Structure 1
Amino acid sequence: MTAVALAEELLLLAYDEKSGKATGSRIGLDLGMAAAVLVDLALVGRVAFDDGSIVVTDPTPTGEPIADEVLARMAADTPHTPASWVQRLRHGLRDRILADLCGRGVTQEINETAMGGFVHVHRYPVLDPTVETEVRQRLAAALAGERQPDERTAALAALVAAIRMEPRLGLSAEAAQGADRRLDEIAGTAGFAGGVSLEDSTVRPSVALVIAALTRAIEAALGTRA
């Protein structure tokens, strides 16, 4: 597993780095992060999409605590559809990922109280901006068409599109205009959206199948775009 998980990358993109507050749809981000954990497991050959379900193909731990908790849970359960897994895994996942980022010094937790102490607000401003900066640069390069994205970046782009995060990427006006089109192109060439055959995709077919199934599940859960 890589040092920064896909779910962490997605969360950092969704939180304002200065205010430490989440932007956009909470349910969308939670579903996206659950899917991201499954994608990371697919990238290292632990799960696959088979006969309509996501199944464990190798229960060997990856060394990444959150992913390994999910992997163990899946191995002990019966197979479920992608839609079922993202709903099952999303609960409590955000807190686990935020705690992990705080523990590593990427973000910090700030607790604030209001209304006489009855309301507690938690903010997570960035302490170490290098992680988020790298993620944004990698995604921006992919959206600009500067180079063919690798598997992880293509997966991140697919999740960004599925949870409708494009308006919160901080892109320039010119870049934002072409973001939707470029996200569609990335999904097509990677084999997520039927643009090419899996044999010709830029992502391994086993991984592309998982990502395609998960993004469809998220889009179905969120309903029609406004």
Structure 2
Amino acid sequence: MTGVPLAEELLLLAYDDETGKATMPRISLDLGMAAAVLIELALAGRLAYADGALTVVDPTPTGEPVTDDVLARIAADTPHSPSSWVQRLRHGLRDKILGDLCEHGVVRDVDETELGFIHVHRYPVVDRSVEADTRQRLAAALTGTAPDERTAALATLVAVLRMESALGVTGEAAEQARRRLEEIATGAGFSGEVSLDDSVVRPSVGLVVAALGRAVQAALGPRR
């Protein structure tokens, strides 16, 4: 596997660069982390969706520890639905990904104490280049540039998780961003409204992303 893992890109978008605090609900972020790692495995050709379940089609490690831990766990288990896997994987996954980002010098762990005994961790950004590339790709996609497979998957996750505000837009601009993100998902075949034969992504990836998108949306409930 090459490049920055999808879960790391999503996590950097979800945390404020200066305060190092998450800008979205914990449950949404944790579900997003699980979905992002599963999509990463699909992008790497390791995971497929068939007969209502996610299954490993290639157990070869990708070389990314967090992703490979999930790959091994799925390979050793019986098939489960996307909904089941995002719930099974979401606990503790974010801490592992934050640990990797700290180890790579992208963020730093600021351990503070509140009320004299409660430890609170913040993760302000140290190396902004990773997030800058992510935001540049999303910005290009939002303004009409055809996204590649990975960027289309990331844009779809941002839409499913209702993370428009993480893109630095509010009000009408946020609504326009939401519509464009949904258009990207539809154009990629992730919404089920476009034939995967006409998609910009591989059908195997499209099926996984669509299934995980439905699973996360169901877990989050209706948009308010």
Normalised by the length of structure 1, the TM-score is: 0.96
How far apart are 1:144 and its partner, in Å? 1.5
CA drift at 1:194 = 2.4
Q: How does 1:147-162 map to 2 (within 5 A)?
A: 147-162=145-160
Counterparts of 1:79 and 1:195, CA distance in 2 = 26
Partner of 1:134: 133
Determine helix, strand or coil for the equivalent of 2:49.
strand
Q: In structure 1, give the amino acid aligned to 2:222.
A: T
Task: Give the aligned partner of residue 64 of structure 2.
Answer: 64
Give the match for residue 119 of structure 1. Answer: 118
Structure-2-length-normalised TM-score: 0.97
CA contact (8 A) 1:13 1:169 kept: yes
Contact 1:108 1:124 in 2 (8 A): yes
State whether residues 46 and 56 of structure 2, in contact with CA within 8 Å, keep that contact through their aligned partners in structure 1.
yes
Aligned partner of 1:80 in structure 2 is 80
Structure 2 segments unaligned to the other structure (5+ residues): none
Aligned with residue 211 of structure 1, among 209, 212, 223: 209
1:183 alignment partner in structure 2: 181
Q: Report the secondary structure of 1:80's partner residue.
A: coil
Secondary structure class of the residue paired with 2:54: strand
Aligned 8 A contact 1:43 1:207 in 2: yes
- Corresponding residue of 1:25: 25
**Structure 2: which amino acid aligns with 1:104?**
H
Provide, for residues 167-195 of structure 1, a one-character-per-residue CA deviation record: whole Å limited to 9, x for no partner: 22113766434111111211111001123
C-alpha separation in 1, matches of 2:161 and 2:179: 16
Q: Structure 1: which 5+ residue stretches go unaligned?
A: none
Percent identity reads 69
1:37-116 equivalences in 2 (<5 Å): 37-116=37-116
- Report deviation, 1:15: 0.2
**Secondary structure of 2:119's aligned partner:** strand
> How far apart, in 2, do the equivalents of 1:172 and 1:220 lie?
25
* Cα pair 2:192 2:210 within 8 Å, conserved: no
1:7-42 C-alpha deviation (Å, 9 max, x unpaired)? 000000000000000111111111011011011100
- 2:3, 2:66 → 1: CA distance? 12
Q: Secondary structure at the match of 1:55?
A: strand
Give the number of aligned pairs: 224
Note the C-alpha offset of 1:164: 0.9
After superposition, what is the alpha-carbon deviation per residue over 1:34-77, rounded to whole angstroms, capped at 9, x for unaligned?
01101110011100001000000010111111111000011100
Contact 1:30 1:94 (C-alpha < 8 Å) held by counterparts: yes
Aligned twin of 1:202: 200
Per-residue CA deviation, residues 97-120 of structure 1 (Å, 9 max, x unaligned), is: 00000000000000111212x211
Question: Which whole-Å CA distance do the structure 1 matches of 2:5 and 2:14 have between them?
Answer: 15
Report the Cα distance in structure 1 between the residues aligned to 2:183 and 2:9, rounded to whole angstroms: 21
Which residue of the partner structure matches residue 34 of structure 2? 34
2:143 equivalent in structure 1: 144
Aligned to 1:10: 10
Task: Report if aligned partners of 1:144, 1:175 keep a CA contact under 8 Å in 2.
Answer: no
